């Protein structure tokens, strides 16, 4: 079975409620732009490319409701999450079409198709890297749930498996919200891809033992020097991979590339509620009075990246800025 995170039919955006996986596959049917904003804020729908597509359809819903202008709807949707660049590209693509008097629905559908096609291209471009390095660690969820279809980090692994590679995925649980153990493991089960979930602090152990051949992650924002933001904990996996001489790959569509930003230092990092750290599976796991910090993302310097897997092919850190500029500048977005 292949997984699809969201779809738009009959004037409604349908999303798998990712907060409920893996216990239950519940579909939410969103009719209003405010419901889409809420779904993005609460991680009902999540993952950089998927929230870009969801927001694009949120703009479509706003265009069919009374009282919304393109700018007002864009402001609401932009306020939901600060780090994933795709969110802003998705919103801007439809805002601009709507403001020009074009059909927002057609713009959103074209945007969705582009994201899906680019993820497939990432799969084709990246698969050869894993034919002889089949035991791969991934962090968070950058599969179909995070991108609509295919995924970014999971796409090359899916394609490599279809070409006969004995792919085995090490799945970081990914505290605090467990996108690895709840979502990536669920996706891999659907497609019968062999895997094992490990605690976040176990990756170094398996790297040192020679049981991990490569690491692949997605990204929420990649800037022109190759620094990138991804789920908190990505940075330490990159440093560990470097220490253990293991290749470290970053897979992303063009909508993730913020080419006008020069380094990762200026990427906005979302800080989420303390309760996400204080509680685990409904139980309190820290004293209620202890202060908590909960950054949702970290920024990994380009020097730890072996290569980026893009829809335009595989690029080294030295080349990725120029390659992305050729494709990404058309977005013309800054924040």
Site residues (CB under 6 A) for ligand MRU? 43, 46-49, 84, 140, 142, 146-147, 152, 179, 218-220, 230-231, 296
What is the C-alpha to C-alpha distance for residues 33 and 13, in angstroms, rounded to an integer? 10
Give the shortest CB-56-to-ligand MRU separation in angstroms. Answer: 16
User: Is the Cβ–Cβ distance between 46 and 36 less than 8 Å?
Assistant: no
307, β-bridge pairs: 249
Q: Rounded to an integer, what is the distance from CA 65 to the centroid of its chain? A: 29
| Closest approach of ligand MRU to the CB of residue 11, in Å | 26
Between the alpha carbon of residue 285 and those of residues 122, 177, 275, 282, 294, the distances in Å are 39, 14, 10, 9, 14
Whole-number minimum distance, CB 91 to ligand MRU, in Å?
Answer: 16
Bridge partners (DSSP) listed for residue 308: 250, 315
Dist. CA 180–CA 115, nearest whole Å: 22
Query: How far, in Å, CA of 206 to CA of 246, rounded?
Result: 11
Closest separation in Å from C-beta 116 to ligand MRU: 12
Determine how many CB atoms are found less than 10 A away from the CB of residue 334.
9
172 is catalytic: no
Strands 307-310, 248-251: pairing kind = parallel
> Among 220, 227, 258, 298, which one carries the catalytic annotation?
220
Nearer to ligand MRU, 181 or 230 (CB): 230
Min dist. Cβ of residue 291 to ligand MRU (A): 22
Helices (H), the chain: 33-41, 48-64, 70-78, 85-99, 104-126, 144-147, 154-162, 185-190, 203-208, 234-243, 275-278, 317-328
Least distance CB 210 / ligand MRU (angstroms): 26
**Closest residue to ligand MRU in the complex (CB):** 218
Separation CA 137–CA 172 (nearest Å): 7
Closest to 136 in 3D by CA, of 196, 189, 178, 187: 196
Active site residues: 220
């Amino acid at each position: 079975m292949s997984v699809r995170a969201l779809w738009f039919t009959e004037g409604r955006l349908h999303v798998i409620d990712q907060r409920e996986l893996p216990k239950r596959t519940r579909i939410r049917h969103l009719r209003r732009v405010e419901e889409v904003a809420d779904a993005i804020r609460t991680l009902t729908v999540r993952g950089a490319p998927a929230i870009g597509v969801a927001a694009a359809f949120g703009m479509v819903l706003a265009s069919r409701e009374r009282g919304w202008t393109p700018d007002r709807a864009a402001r609401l949707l932009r306020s939901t999450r600060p780090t994933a660049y795709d969110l802003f590209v998705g919103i801007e693509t439809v805002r601009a079409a709507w403001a020009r008097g074009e059909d927002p629905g057609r713009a959103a559908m074209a945007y969705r198709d582009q994201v899906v096609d680019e993820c497939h291209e990432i799969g084709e471009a990246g698969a050869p890297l894993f034919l002889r390095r089949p035991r791969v660690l991934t962090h968070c969820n950058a599969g179909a749930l995070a991108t609509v279809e295919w995924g970014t980090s999971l796409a090359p692994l899916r394609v490599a498996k279809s070409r006969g590679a004995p792919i085995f995925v090490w799945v970081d649980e990914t505290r605090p919200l467990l996108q690895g153990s709840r979502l990536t493991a669920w996706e891999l089960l659907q497609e019968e891809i062999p895997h094992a979930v490990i605690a976040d602090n176990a990756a170094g152990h398996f790297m040192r033992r020679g049981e991990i051949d490569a690491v692949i992650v997605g990204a929420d924002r990649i800037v022109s020097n190759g620094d990138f933001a991804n789920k908190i904990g990505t940075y330490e996996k990159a440093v560990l991979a470097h220490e253990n001489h293991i290749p470290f790959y970053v897979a992303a569509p063009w909508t993730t590339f913020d080419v006008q930003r020069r380094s990762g230092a200026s990427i906005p990092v979302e800080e989420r509620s303390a309760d996400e750290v204080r509680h685990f599976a409904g139980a309190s796991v820290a004293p209620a009075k202890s202060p908590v910090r909960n950054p949702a993302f970290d920024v990994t310097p380009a020097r730890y990246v072996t290569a980026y897997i893009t829809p335009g092919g595989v690029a080294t850190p030295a080349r990725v800025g120029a390659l992305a500029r050729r494709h990404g500048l058309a977005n013309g977005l800054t924040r």
